[in-house]
Structure 1
Amino acid sequence: MTEDESIGLSQEPVNILFDPASISKKDIWEIDLIRILDILKKILEKSGEKDLRVAGMAALSSSLIYRMKVESIFALQKAAMEKKPLTQRTDLDIDLIDIPYRHESTYPVSLDELLTLLENLIGSIANPRSRRGNQMRFEPVEAPNFDEYFTSLENIIGKYEDLIVKK
């Protein structure tokens, strides 16, 4: 006789299916429902009784356990999705670095548009004379002033150096 065959309906771990109050006392991720339901199935087959109340109660409690597992997953996902604002440490008097950000808008491109563009590129590479008259004119883009970022970065690094030296 194995360990699973000597277990009854009122003994651990099968009794968790018939005592919903004990579910809340345990960590739901430590409950192995597949093993418990297999043990219950063996017990019912061994007894030879066809009691639908036992099977119904086991189905109800196992569905509740699965629901609790799913709700815990969604709770973790919701907590991860919440964006927490970036807070500056209060024990340090150091400013955050402003990094220049360049946003380029994009739009969806169809395969036909990409193929047309590729054909135009191949045609312009194959016929360089026709490309001379049709050259695109680009306006110069003003480069950002990096000096203000370098000085602030040097100041911030200096503050960190002071913190390290003081400790």
Structure 2
Amino acid sequence: MDPLAGQSLIDEEYPFWLRAPFRLLTDVTQFRKIDPWSLEIDQLITRFVEEMKLRDDINFPVLGRAVLSSSILYRAKVTDLIKIIEQTDEKDESLDVMGFDIPEISPSYHLSQRPVSFSELVFAFEGLLKQ
């Protein structure tokens, strides 16, 4: 008997977000096992959303957990960058001199008095991912 055949059956028993690579976004115990710099987080979260739409398996709590996890991973990267900047000898250098191009991000607020459809919500979420 092929041991991998049993593995594929096991994999199909669980939702896709509990399998690699998406498990990184939904299981916080996985954070310690990976280096955030080894991931392209934006591509992973985009694939996650595409997979949800493809399977027509939209689960907002899981999607929220994935977004939170990706923001935690991004924060870890930013913290590492700040440590690197603070350790440089020339502390008076600005980010422009160091070659960092950090665009300004303005908050976008949308107040609506009507219900928002799921497709509008997904469209807005995809727009945020592209920023």
Q: SS of the residue aligned with 1:68?
A: helix
Greater relative CO, 1 or 2 (CA 8 Å, sep 6+) = 2
Q: Which residue of the partner structure matches residue 76 of structure 2? A: 68
CA change 1:15–1:60 in 2 (3 A) is: same
Unmatched segments (≥5 aa) in structure 1 = 1-5, 84-167
Q: SS of the residue aligned with 1:61?
A: helix
The reply to whether residue 38 of structure 1 matches residue 46 of structure 2 is yes
Residue 38 of structure 1 deviates from its aligned partner by 2.0
Runs in 1 of length 4+ with deviation above 4 angstroms?
A: none
The alignment covers a number of residue pairs equal to 78
Q: Which residue of the partner structure matches residue 24 of structure 1? A: 32
Q: SS of the residue aligned with 1:9?
A: helix
Identity score, percent: 24
Residue 50 of structure 1 deviates from its aligned partner by 2.8
- TM-score under structure 1 normalisation? 0.42
Larger relative helix fraction? 2
Unmatched segments (≥5 aa) in structure 2 = 1-11, 92-131
Q: Look at both structures and tell me which one has the larger radius of gyration over its CA atoms.
A: 1
Distance 2:79 2:87 in 1: 12
Aligned-residue RMSD, C-alpha: 2.3
Correspondence list, 1:103-142, <5 A: none
